Amino acid sequence: MNQIIGTTISSENINRTKIILGVIAFIAVSFFVQAMSHFVINVEHFAQVTFMRAEPIMALGLLTMLIQAIVLSYGYAVFNHGDRPIFNALRYSMAMGVFFVSYLTLVEPSKYQVPSVLQWALVEGTAGLIQFLLFGLLLGFIYSRK
């Protein structure tokens, strides 16, 4: 057994099937929410951003989602304790969401010439928080199953 920040890591905590399901859940939710935001709901917003590529490099986006999915799913497996899996997963996912989404929401408009900083923050912040809320619900459902 290893210890990380007072948490014991053992085979009881690490269920590879649940980690894989978490990875799939994160990628599916991320792809759905971000695609809806970029290509359906906020098309006009993103059309006003002049530094966007006409055709995004999808492989880089998918690689990023995979890396984030693995880190988040493994991290939850390590730090998940207690008998309230949906609450615990939502709490974990929303904390991680605030961490990840704060960069998109606050740093990107400070570096790039976006038409409206407020609009950028609202669009990216809303999509990101919805993404992590849905991921938390799915992660909680995955860990509620025995």
Q: Which residue has the tokens 């809806």?
A: 36
Residue spans per domain, the chain: 16-144
Give 117-121's long-range contacts (Cβ < 8 A, gap of 24+): 119/45, 120/45, 120/49
The DSSP secondary-structure symbol of 12 reads T
Rounded to two decimals, what is the model's pTM?
0.85
Contact 24/72 with Cβ under 8 angstroms?
A: no
| Helical spans, DSSP H, in 37-57 | 43-47
Query: How many CB atoms lie under 10 A from the CB of residue 7?
Result: 12
Helix spans in 1-146 (H): 16-36, 43-47, 58-79, 85-102, 108-111, 117-144
Distance CA 53, CA 7 (A): 43
pLDDT (tens, 9 = 90+) of the chain, 146 residues, equals 455 555 555 556 588 999 999 999 999 999 999 999 988 998 888 888 887 777 889 899 889 999 999 999 999 998 887 788 899 999 999 999 999 999 989 998 888 888 889 999 999 999 999 999 999 999 999 999 87
Residues 88, 140 contacting (CB under 8 angstroms): yes
